[in-house]
């Protein structure tokens, strides 16, 4: 497998040549070395030149300066590692990120175990600012207004960039299979660094976006599930992949939000099927319910979809407002407004507020209006209590509609 670096803005598409995420900063080009039989014999043959020994020594010295124990054993391990890989790998190493070499060694070692192939690891790299154009109607449409006036605004949002490292037995079309695996869970490949070892293994490093949070546990589990769904492509059997199916149809995969405008801030609650997060959407504080991909069975999926259908049907001042949802793998979200004052229970018992008669009557009317509206829609709440009655910043009482986890989590949403 030839080495490559990709930088693109399409989804999971084919790599294009470019500068890699882990590449060293551009330097003045060095004089080209004289060709030698060892350096011209293919991707594995360049691993024994003097330049390789230099980069190996540089990595060793940086690791020692970073606190690793100096010794012949570490140096020997690094030399063996670099000797397995082509010269293009040496050129891709960033001395300022010498720890990456140990990271690569670890995953290559795991790939020796047939039961762990493809071995992989995930880590968060950075947040990257994205400018999103938003077109709005304004008074600029009034007669005589200049069309060049600000009808289009640019809002700043952030996308999470992760790195995914794979290692397995090298084989034809492996890069295509790995790209399809990442695309299967909705990731966009920005860069790919692809190398083959002299003993028949691959080392493939992908820089991706499309996973909406910094935390990597969920992404790791989503990759495990995708590998299982495509098990036949790794084992050579065609039956495994076809026997495994997702619990939803292609037409179920939809979104009515722009996921680029969604920013996850912090987790506030966990349940058996998902997690509740505090976040922002297009600058508005929101509550985000996320269904865990590893818990995606038929029952969980049916309940999740039913909740979305129900939320889309309700619109009332005393019901928590539904903002949108996403059911495109691996992103399974329900987004509602954030009730920043918490629950009525907290307001009374934890903040020790006392309701005077006008406020008490107002809250009672809020509850009655909300419940009356739900009953007109044929919806029975089944769990009406102070912990499930939420207050907005104007002390309007609203009820969340959904399962118990949604209600419990929503009562904990507060920006500090």
Whether 300 contacts 348, CB under 8 Å: no
User: Phi/psi of residue 314, each to 5°?
Assistant: -110, 140
CA dihedral 145, 146, 149, 152 (to 10 degrees): 90
Torsion sign, CA atoms 363, 364, 368, 371 = positive
Q: Which carries the bigger pLDDT value, residue 241 or residue 360? A: 360
Q: Which carries the bigger pLDDT value, residue 18 or residue 303? A: 303
Residues carrying an active site annotation: 383
* CATH hierarchy code of domain 53-128+158-228: 3.30.70.260
Domain boundaries, the chain: 53-128+158-228, 259-406
Q: Which carries the bigger pLDDT value, residue 409 or residue 377? A: 377
* CATH hierarchy code of domain 259-406: 1.10.510.10
Locus of tokens 């080009």: 29
How far is the C-alpha of 204 from the C-alpha of 192, rounded, in Å?
Answer: 7
What are the structure tokens assigned to 117, written together? 């192939």
Whether 410 contacts 336, CB under 8 Å: yes
pLDDT in tens, 149-197: 445 556 667 889 999 999 999 888 888 888 888 887 888 999 999 999 9
Q: Which carries the bigger pLDDT value, residue 36 or residue 184? A: 184
Comparing CA positions, the residue from 101, 221, 118 lying closest to residue 166 is 118
Q: Which carries the bigger pLDDT value, residue 167 or residue 400? A: 167
**Percent of the chain clearing pLDDT 70 (strictly above):** 68
Stated pTM of the model: 0.50
Comparing CA positions, the residue from 18, 21, 14 lying closest to residue 175 is 14
Locus of tokens 């010269």: 87
The DSSP result for 383-399, as a single string, is --SGGG-EE-TT--EEB
Is residue 89's pLDDT more than 70?
yes
How far is the C-alpha of 66 from the C-alpha of 104, rounded, in Å?
Answer: 17
């Amino acid at each position: 497998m030839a080495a490559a670096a990709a930088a693109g803005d399409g989804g999971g598409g084919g790599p294009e040549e470019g500068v890699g995420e882990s590449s060293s900063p551009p330097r003045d080009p060095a004089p080209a070395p004289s060709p030698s039989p060892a350096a011209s014999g293919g991707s594995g043959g360049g691993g024994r030149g003097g330049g390789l020994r230099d980069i190996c020594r540089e990595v060793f010295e940086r690791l020692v300066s970073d606190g690793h124990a100096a010794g012949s054993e570490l140096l020997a391990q690094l030399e063996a590692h670099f000797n397995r890989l082509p010269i293009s790998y040496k050129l891709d190493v960033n001395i300022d990120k010498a720890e990456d070499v140990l990271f690569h060694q670890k995953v290559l070692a795991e790939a020796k175990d047939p039961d762990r192939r493809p071995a992989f690891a995930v880590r968060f790299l950075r947040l990257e600012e994205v400018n999103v154009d938003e077109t709005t109607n304004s008074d600029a449409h009034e007669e005589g207004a200049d069309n060049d006036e600000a009808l289009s605004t640019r809002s700043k949002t952030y996308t999470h960039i992760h790195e995914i490292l794979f290692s397995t037995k090298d084989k034809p079309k492996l890069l295509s299979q790995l790209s399809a695996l990442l695309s299967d869970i909705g990731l966009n490949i920005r860069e790919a660094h692809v190398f083959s070892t002299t003993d028949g293994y691959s080392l493939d490093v992908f820089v991706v976006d499309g996973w909406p949070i910094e935390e990597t546990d969920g992404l790791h589990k989503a990759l495990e599930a995708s590998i299982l769904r495509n098990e036949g492509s790794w084992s050579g059997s065609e039956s495994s992949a076809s026997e495994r199916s997702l619990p939803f149809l292609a037409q179920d995969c939809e979104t009515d939000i722009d996921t680029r405008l969604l920013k996850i801030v912090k987790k506030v609650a966990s349940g058996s099927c998902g997690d509740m997060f505090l976040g922002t959407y297009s600058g508005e504080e929101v509550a985000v319910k996320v269904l865990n991909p590893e818990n995606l069975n038929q029952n969980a999926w049916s309940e999740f979809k039913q909740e979305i259908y129900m939320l889309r049907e309700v619109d009332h001042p005393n019901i928590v407002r539904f903002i949108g949802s996403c059911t495109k793998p691996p992103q399974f979200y329900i987004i509602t407004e954030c009730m920043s004052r918490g629950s009525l229970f907290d307001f009374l018992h934890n903040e020790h507020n006392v309701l005077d008669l006008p406020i008490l009557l107002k809250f009672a009317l809020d509850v009655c209006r909300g419940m009356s509206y739900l009953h007109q829609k044929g919806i029975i709440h089944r769990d009406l209590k102070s912990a499930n009655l939420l207050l907005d910043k104007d002390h309007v009482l609203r009820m969340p509609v959904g399962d118990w986890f949604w209600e419990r989590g929503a009562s904990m949403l507060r920006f500090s």
